[in-house]
Amino acid sequence: MKYFIIEGTIKNADLMNDDIMKEHMAYTQKAMDKGFILMSGLKSDMSGGLFIMKSESIEEVEVYLSNEPFKVYGIQDYKVIEVSPHYFNESPSEWFGK
């Protein structure tokens, strides 16, 4: 398994609407339910988002991102960084305060 940090950067917020936001949220939730995404959230300056994803390959991540509603509608671009975790918290929900 490979691990990735994905940074989204908003390139055209004017294209955003409630329907696209709902589509984005459903798409993200589906990946979370399948265990592909550990966490997802907005950058504090609202310039985009970040998420941590696992996948068999970078190609699988690229396919996921190419179908992500914000990408499809030209709202957000993504930078993908592959990471090799050495240490991790055993209980992420406690670490994130959930």
Question: Residue 10 belongs to a domain with what CATH number?
Answer: 3.30.70.1060
Structural domain includes residue 7: yes
- Quote the CA–CA distance of 22 and 85 in Å, as a whole number: 32
Structural domain includes residue 49: yes
- Quote the CA–CA distance of 70 and 40 in Å, as a whole number: 14
Q: How far is CA 3 from CA 24, 70, 80, in A?
A: 21, 22, 10
pLDDT of residue 89: 80
Structural domain includes residue 19: yes
Structural domain includes residue 40: yes
Structural domain includes residue 91: no
Structural domain includes residue 51: yes
For the CA atoms of 22, 24, 29, 32, the dihedral, rounded to the nearest 10 degrees, stands at: -170
Domain region containing 34: 2-85
Structural domain includes residue 95: no
Write the pLDDT tens digit of every residue in 72-94.
999 999 999 999 988 888 887 78
Domain count, the chain: 1
SS3 27: helix
Q: CB of 57 within 8 A of CB of 82?
A: no
> Which residues in the chain show pLDDT less than 50?
none
Structural domain includes residue 98: no
CA 79 to chain centre: 10
pTM summary value: 0.87
Picking from 28, 32, 11, 1, the residue whose alpha carbon sits closest to that of residue 79 is: 11
